[in-house]
Chain A
Amino acid sequence: MMDNKKINTGILSGINNMLIKSVIIIDPFEEREYTSDILIENGIIRAVGTDLKIGSSVDFERFPECSRIKFADNLMLFDASGYHASPGFFDMHVHLREPGDEDEEDLESGISAALRGGITSVACMPNTDPPLDRDFLIKDIKNRASTLGFNVYPIAAATKGLEGIEMTEMGILRDSGAAAFSDDGKCIQNAKLMYEIMKYSKIFEMPLILHEEDYSFLSSGMVHDGYYSAALGLDGIPSLSEEIIVARDIMLAEKTCAQIHITHISSKRSVELIKKAKEKGINITCDVTPHHLYFDDSSLKDYNTNFKVNPPLRSSKDRQAIIEAVKAGVIDAIASDHAPHLETEKNIPFSEAANGVIGMETLFKAAYTILCKKGNLNSVELIKLLTKSPSKILKISTGKINPDLKADFVILDLERESVIRRQDFFSRSSNSAFTGEKLTGEIVLTVCNGKIGFLNNSVNLEKKLGNFR
């Protein structure tokens, strides 16, 4: 029997010939859904069409009818009728914690968590220890990920040591393979410095990923400044903290023509500012997290630290505004802001707990549940937010389900419901906002760089898999 844990601890299964039959492909590039077979040989998509067959001598007649997936040597036959397929997801905001905090997560555990979430490409943030502000650190992450057969696009720091004082060697970092620049985790408070960074990033045509908060609003705040912070006796951080920096950076971007991307927006006014900026033709995009789509500050009533995040969960009005913005096309992408933390940092009193939740394994499920199942967003639109759009923003070409490309796709069961359980996470950390939540949409199979990265063991695998030949 295929051992999922083994497949997912960075050692991708050797199977790279597959025939996926009768799957409904959600194509974000052609913007349509259609039923098709997918034939993969040696990890490359040979054909996408109907009635595809393997031209080989494998006799599948002998295998029991009830099993969807059959294996024979280096070959998988998957009856995917009723399932959907999408290009592998691209999570453009992830904290992999390597180097420095490997007890929270490392590349191996992070990659297996990603694959479980249907994610085949990840852009990771530089607030590691040491931070990714030198070329050899960027190269090291890329090499490590490449050895593990996964696509990691490291984002380099915009300022040295993430201290917000001097800019990094942006040209040299670009040369070493950084995908973008960001001080995420922190925010550059000095407007002049941000201005200089935008001007310099422009000459290299590199995107700037901006985490927006004004520290003068911070003091001891830890939740949204609203009804619940008042009720719970917790210091609040007003949404102005985010909005004034969004406004500042929009003005700077307008002057410099830099490409900026505001990450994890949390408020209604931020949405409005970005919408107006786009109308003016400013080169700006933005993303939201699934937890900001799904929850608001009412979740804080039990002081559950798995709702303690930065930016904080805001009011229901803010959440509604963000959901509407996704439907209206103002939000360009959904990214998890996967932030692993140790039990010692989360399973403690609220005021002491660290900010952040993991999110790669629930990225799709949570977004699908809140936007498509409970909302009325078209699944093609959702898939775009997780694939085509992040690729466009970071100017990186990721998976497409087209012939002659390396196989990079995810098979989804859009009907299946499951309750999220702590013990199921592949991430080294288990600080999830969704624990106990019933979500719709299951990742069945993830294929990355032509190989199987994840296979969901709750999908009819048990039946007589051992019967080869």
Chain B
Amino acid sequence: MLSVKNIIDIDDLSSEDIKLIMENADSFGEVLERDLKKVPTLRGKTLVNLFFEPSTRTRTSFEIAAKRLSADMINFSASTSSLKKGETIIDTVNTIQSMIADLLIIRHPDSGVLNFISRNINTPIINAGDGKHQHPTQALLDLYTIKKSFKSFKDLNVALVGDIANSRVARSNSRLFKRMGMNVSLVSAPMMLPEDISYFGADIFYCIDDVIKDVDVLYMLRMQFERQQKKYYPSIKEYNRFLSLNTERFGMMKKGSIVMHPGPVNRGIEISEAVMNLETEMPARIKINNQVNNGVAVRMALIYLILMSRQENI
């Protein structure tokens, strides 16, 4: 089974773990094609979505995954919780734990909160996104998507485009993709890159045109213009000029290359309206909806493997 108890940082997973996750995602993907999209595997188990930061897609994705495995899922979001009444994170988590959760799926706006929680409880944890730090399940479903689109990972050219400095997706994805043998490039602007980018193991470019012809996987990151009431990047127009995917650039991409985005897409910012509208006719090239579908299968695999590993160790 898995070599780790918690999935917090993508680098915690061994190569064997990743292989296992991909194989199980295939099996569960198969389950999702059936009419009866349910297996009794995790009946009686209780999972808790503990989301301190809003999310629709990720939370729902985990919920569907849990239910397909016949597990019970409780949703807990910070705005409705006693956190507003001043309860600390640890007390919140302990309260939930004493309701005997088998697995916690946690999202929090600050990097490092999950590491803190994991030191203070016994229940296994899956990171659904902690601040700018990591989003390992996104990386795994993205890897799975790439696996289904190409024969091999080796030497595939991947470009991550946008606000690298503030992106947990950029961190998890660049590490995982590089580990699997892909060539990772970052396309960004100095205001959106950390001082030292050696963690990413990637080449840097400042204009999407520099990578567009050679890229196999063009991965667009979400852009947020205002932080602390101030724009740190000049304008949408400047973003469109250097970092956006539009019809012209899409036309310059290689045959067989794909476009990905963790969602939700800011139409007209990261990807133009016109290119977004192409997805229905070109599902082989634009994988954004496909990523979402794969998310359920991959999360089913993760939940299954963590709980099965736990069982074996008891």
Contact = CB atoms under 8 A, between A and B. Distances in A.
Interface string A194-222: 00100110110000000000000000000
B238 A171 contact: yes
A168 B191 CA distance: 13
A326 to B, nearest CB: 35
Q: Which 6 A-B pairs have the closest CB atoms?
A: A199-B190, A169-B238, A169-B234, A203-B206, A166-B231, A196-B191
Interface of A: 160, 165-172, 175, 196, 199-200, 202-203
A169 B234 CA distance: 5
A170 B191 CA distance: 12
Interface of A is mostly: helix
A167 B206 contact: no
B237 interface: yes
B118 to A, nearest CB: 34
B190 A170 contact: no
A170 B230 CA distance: 17
Given A169-B238, A196-B190, A203-B190, 10 more contacts: A160-B234, A166-B231, A166-B232, A167-B191, A169-B241, A171-B241, A172-B238, A196-B232, A200-B190, A203-B189
Contacts of A172: 237-238, 241
Contacts of B235: 169
Given A196-B190, A200-B190, A200-B191, A175 B241 contact: yes
Interface in B210-234: 230-232, 234
B242 interface: yes
Contacts of B191: 167, 196, 199-200
Contacts, number: 35
Contacts of B189: 200, 203
Contact of A169 (B190, B230, B232, B237): B237
A309 to B, nearest CB: 32
Contacts of A202: 190
B234 A166 contact: yes
Interface centre among A160, A166, A171, A203 (most CB of B within 10 A): A171
B234 A168 contact: yes
Interface centre among B230, B231, B238 (most CB of A within 10 A): B238
Nearest to A255: B195
A172 B207 CA distance: 12
A165 B232 CA distance: 9
Nearest to A202: B190
Given A200-B191, A203-B206, A166 B237 contact: no
Contacts of A169: 234-235, 237-238, 241
A206 B184 CA distance: 28
Interface of B: 189-191, 206, 230-232, 234-235, 237-238, 241-242
Nearest to A256: B190
A161 to B, nearest CB: 12
Contacts of A171: 238, 241-242
Contacts of A199: 190-191
7 contacts: A165-B230, A166-B230, A169-B234, A169-B238, A169-B241, A171-B238, A171-B242
A202 B191 CA distance: 12
A120 B238 CA distance: 33
A202 B238 CA distance: 16
Contacts of A175: 241
A170 B234 contact: yes
Contacts of B242: 171
A439 B184 CA distance: 64
Contacts of A170: 234, 238
Nearest to A159: B234
A166 B45 CA distance: 52
A459 to B, nearest CB: 51
Interface centre among B190, B206, B235 (most CB of A within 10 A): B190
Contacts of A160: 234
Nearest to A204: B206
B190 A167 contact: no
A160 to B, nearest CB: 8
B117 to A, nearest CB: 33
A166 B232 CA distance: 7
Interface centre among B191, B234, B235 (most CB of A within 10 A): B234
Contacts of A196: 190-191, 232
A193 to B, nearest CB: 9
Contacts of B234: 160, 166-170
A169 B237 CA distance: 8
A160 B230 CA distance: 12
Nearest to A203: B206
Contacts of B190: 196, 199-200, 202-203
A163 to B, nearest CB: 11
Nearest to B206: A203
A131 to B, nearest CB: 14
B187 to A, nearest CB: 12
Nearest to A167: B234
A160 B235 CA distance: 11
A182 B135 CA distance: 40
Contacts of B231: 166
B175 to A, nearest CB: 25
A44 to B, nearest CB: 37
A203 B234 CA distance: 15
Contacts of B237: 169, 172
B36 to A, nearest CB: 54
A167 B235 CA distance: 9
B249 to A, nearest CB: 16
A193 B230 CA distance: 11
A418 to B, nearest CB: 48
A427 to B, nearest CB: 35
B101 to A, nearest CB: 43
A200 B235 CA distance: 14
A433 B237 CA distance: 44
Nearest to A165: B230
A230 B191 CA distance: 45
A165 B190 CA distance: 17
Contacts of A165: 230
B27 to A, nearest CB: 47
A199 B190 CA distance: 6
B145 to A, nearest CB: 31
A160 B190 CA distance: 18
A294 B189 CA distance: 44
A133 B231 CA distance: 15
Contacts of A166: 230-232, 234
